Amino acid sequence: NMQIQGGSYTLTKQLNIGSMLIYQCPDGYYPSPALTRLCQANGTWRPAPKKFKPQMCKRVECPDPNVLEYGSVNPPQEKYFVDNETTYECYSGYTLRGSSRRVCLPHGKWSGFTPICSRDSDNTCPDPGVPAGASREGNIFGIDDTVKYQCGSSLFLVGSNERVCQENGQWTGQEPACYCKHTFDTPLEVSEAFGAAIKGSLTTLEPTDDTQEGRIIRILKNGTLNIYIGVDISESIEEEHFRNARDAVLQLITKISSFSVRPESFKEHRHVLIIFTDGAYNMGGSPAPTVARIKNMVYMNQTTDQELKRKASREDYLATDKHYFRLKNIKNLQETFDDIIDESDVKGLCGLHKEYDTGGNIRKKYPWMAHITFKVNILGLRNKCFGSLVTPKFILTAAHCFKFGDLPEDVAVDIDDGQGNVKKVKTFMLHPNYNVKAKVNQGVPEFYDYDVALVQLEDDVLISSNARPICIPCTQETSGALQLIGESTCKQQEQLLLKDQLEALSFLTKTDKIKEKNVRAKLGDNRDECIRHALQAPGVTTKNPKDVVTDSFLCTGGLEPQIDHIACTGDSGGAVFKNYQQRTVQIGLVSWGTKNLCGGGGVVDSDKTSRDFHINLFRVIPFLKSILGNDTQNDYAPLQFLNN
């Protein structure tokens, strides 16, 4: 009996040998116990129908969320189906990160982010959590400590089954997820993740001469980017399904052609094209062993217990970003390809950088870094500040770097884009609310709220691997870098980037070389203890630390839970940043500190009471948007800021 209760089925080759029976169910349901059956040469189906397990459409389940450590999940249920809602609370002393409310979605996943209950500790890395349906081995999160994941029975793991805590406070690999056999990815999820990978390749695998013309990707002899697409035409894939796949691939190729690809150099290279077939071959030895290895690496649709155990060989493939996606049907594939390469989706690739030092060229690691210099003052000294390239036309820095009477011709920006290091300044704009003397009568001799400024260059910086903009909050470009799906909000970005009560951040310093400083921003319950040290700054007489440090600041420094680095003279205006999924996002900028422990720059440790305060860019978005997002002028291309 081939019937299915509550659904229907199709046959790829009628009742002939090799025909595949494919079950279909309404949205929110899946075929059980089998998704498909294959007609074998002996006239039987594989897998064979089971007499006591009739084929039916069952409600889609989501993996069990009751794996939350140090917290509770409500309501507690044995199974969770589509549209079931869960809420998450942490035990006393623990703080919730991730989503406090999640809904089981029709494609077998939970909405939102993995909830994690954690508390302050001296761990280097934050608690990585336990995804729904999984178990974790390892509860110590110091440098080089390892956590391992397993999925429950009938589930398989996508992502990294082992992650290692790095010195920078980040975990290696990709956050794991547990998939049921009926779990699939939506086209939007695939296009966001896979499209981001394509964009990263198109901008990091550059010709050696760094030739770029807007959106044109030139494939020249000195810099070739070939895209290979493999289509499986073997086994039980009938002509109609192959045509659908071919049409989807043609749609993708048509999109790629909008990059003005030049195919002449293709003839100068030798290429191997592999087509998966049913076994026939026209030259050389049998390709079957090689094809089997390729399929084992690429295909993830495990259908047997033996294949469910075969995870280790794929771990390298899944070690970093997500490379494997399951789509519900061929229509989803066409929609996905249409979204992956989109005219609006290839703009504003901020935050790209090399993860390593490329032959001593530190600029490729920090391509957004800029130095701002000012004319010699009456004492014969020349002021210097850091800045960050946020668009080809603008440098972001601190307002206090400028003095009354400074003119654009008194300011120069040093950024090496291959067209000369020193850039002329057209104008600069300080935040209109910045007033260092605003609270002198309240016992605050120097008040640094709104300590932010933008420097407009006369000419655009030439974007290359040496000079690229950093991502800033609340822009469409940053949502793409963070792989946020759908219409994202500024709040979502902040929750993702500042999700820990002790958030690992970095900023730069310079002596003879550029070096990176590491700090922890004290957020939530840790903030009040951190900012109270502002009362010890020279000349401060007020008793209320919030008179000195408003909500516009991030606070770092001190010895607990680890020793932070301290800002030095010359670090002012520099980006306070974090790397997220190999993209750099600026979260703040260096403003002021309670102690001057280092006059000449360099990597210096904080002491017990020294604190630094950095402008939180999430709090000055209106100012940034008014200039960088201004679409009423024709001097520069505006950034696309989020509506909310």
- Dist CA 226 CA 253 (whole Å): 12
Q: Is residue 148 part of a domain?
A: no
Of residues 208 and 118, more confidently modeled:
118
Whether 281 and 421 map to the same domain: the answer is: no
pLDDT at 166 over 60: yes
Q: How many CB atoms lie within 10 A of CB 443?
A: 15
Assign residue 557 a region: left if phi > 0, alpha if psi is -120 to 50, beta otherwise? left
Q: Is residue 143 part of a domain?
A: no
Whether 419 and 308 map to the same domain: the answer is: no
pLDDT at 612 over 60: yes
Of residues 138 and 214, more confidently modeled:
138
Whether 403 and 535 map to the same domain: the answer is: yes
> According to the model, what pLDDT value does residue 572 have?
94
pLDDT at 428 over 90: yes
pLDDT at 452 over 60: yes
Whether 600 and 513 map to the same domain: the answer is: yes
Q: Is residue 242 part of a domain?
A: yes
CA distances from 64 to 30, 107, 232 (A): 17, 15, 34
417-423: average pLDDT: 83
* 256-264, Cβ contacts within 8 angstroms, sequence gap of 24 or more: 256/227, 256/341, 258/215, 258/341, 258/343, 259/202, 259/215, 259/216, 259/217, 260/216, 260/217, 260/218, 261/217, 261/219, 262/218, 262/219, 262/220, 263/219
Residue 264 makes CB contacts below 8 A (sequence gap 6+) with none
Q: Which of 637, 630, 194 is nearest to 393 (CA)?
A: 637
CB 175 within 8 A of CB 128: yes
Lowest-confidence pick of 164-173, 196-205, 231-240, 556-565? 196-205
Whether 526 and 576 map to the same domain: the answer is: yes
Whether 367 and 339 map to the same domain: the answer is: no
Q: How is 473-506 classified by DSSP, letter by letter? A: TTBHHHHHHTT--SS--HHHHHHHHS-SSEEEEE
Q: Which of 480, 481, 492, 507 is nearest to 566 (CA)?
A: 507
- 465 in active site: no
Of the residues 279, 312, 345, which one is the last residue of a structural domain? 345
Range of the domain at 12: 8-59
Whether 404 and 531 map to the same domain: the answer is: yes
Of the residues 345, 378, 396, which one is the last residue of a structural domain? 345
Chain-centre distance for alpha carbon 519: 21
- Dist CA 364 CA 371 (whole Å): 15
Of residues 324 and 327, more confidently modeled:
327
Of residues 31 and 304, more confidently modeled:
31
Most confident range, picked from 184-198, 250-264, 328-342, 374-388? 374-388
Q: Which of 30, 38, 80 is nearest to 55 (CA)?
A: 30
From 107, 353, 400, 533, active-site residue: 400
From 236, 506, 572, 591, active-site residue: 572
Residue 626 makes CB contacts below 8 A (sequence gap 6+) with none
> According to the model, what pLDDT value does residue 282 have?
46
Whether 449 and 332 map to the same domain: the answer is: no
| Residue pointed to by tokens 């790209």 | 352
27-33: average pLDDT: 89
pLDDT at 26 over 60: yes
> According to the model, what pLDDT value does residue 348 have?
42
pLDDT at 94 over 50: yes
Quick one: 48 exposed, middle or buried, by C-beta within 10 A (0-12, 13-18, 19+)? exposed
> According to the model, what pLDDT value does residue 259 have?
36
Most confident range, picked from 364-368, 462-466, 484-488, 515-519? 515-519
pLDDT at 231 over 80: no
Q: Is residue 111 part of a domain?
A: no
- 451 in active site: yes
> According to the model, what pLDDT value does residue 569 have?
87
Domain with residue 617: its CATH number is 2.40.10.120
Of residues 316 and 184, more confidently modeled:
184
Whether 341 and 461 map to the same domain: the answer is: no
> Per residue in 38-82, pLDDT tens?
888 898 988 888 878 899 999 999 999 999 999 999 999 999 999
pLDDT at 147 over 70: yes
Whether 516 and 579 map to the same domain: the answer is: yes
Domain with residue 20: its CATH number is 2.10.70.10
- Dist CA 626 CA 637 (whole Å): 13
Burial of 396-430, coded b for 16+ CB within 10 Å and e otherwise, reads bbbbbbbeeebeeebbbbebbbeeeeebebeebeb
427-439: average pLDDT: 96
Under the banding of pLDDT at 50, 70 and 90, the label for residue 199 is very low
Of residues 363 and 370, more confidently modeled:
370
194-215: average pLDDT: 39
> Per residue in 257-299, pLDDT tens?
433 344 444 555 544 444 444 444 444 455 556 555 555 555 4
Number of helices (H), then strands (E), belonging to the chain: the values are: 10, 30
Indicate the average pLDDT of the chain.
Answer: 80
Under the banding of pLDDT at 50, 70 and 90, the label for residue 615 is very high
> According to the model, what pLDDT value does residue 209 have?
36
CA distances from 117 to 73, 149, 222, 485 (A): 11, 18, 51, 24
Residue 527 gets which letter from DSSP? H
- Dist CA 480 CA 193 (whole Å): 9
> Per residue in 303-317, pLDDT tens?
444 444 444 434 444
Q: Which of 476, 394, 460 is nearest to 427 (CA)?
A: 394
165-171: average pLDDT: 89
Q: Is residue 95 part of a domain?
A: no
602-628: average pLDDT: 96
318-342: average pLDDT: 58
Whether 242 and 276 map to the same domain: the answer is: yes
- Dist CA 52 CA 184 (whole Å): 28
Quick one: 172 exposed, middle or buried, by C-beta within 10 A (0-12, 13-18, 19+)? middle
pLDDT at 454 over 70: yes
Whether 273 and 373 map to the same domain: the answer is: no
Q: Is residue 163 part of a domain?
A: no
Of residues 130 and 239, more confidently modeled:
130
Of residues 49 and 207, more confidently modeled:
49
> According to the model, what pLDDT value does residue 229 have?
67
- 551 in active site: no
> According to the model, what pLDDT value does residue 127 have?
92
Element (H, E) at 242: helix 239-256
> Per residue in 208-230, pLDDT tens?
333 333 323 333 333 445 666 66
Q: Is residue 100 part of a domain?
A: no
Residue 132 makes CB contacts below 8 A (sequence gap 6+) with 62, 63, 64, 65, 67, 110, 114, 178
Total number of domains in the chain: 3
From 127, 185, 416, 451, active-site residue: 451
Q: Is residue 96 part of a domain?
A: no
> Per residue in 470-509, pLDDT tens?
999 999 989 888 878 778 899 999 999 998 889 999 999 9
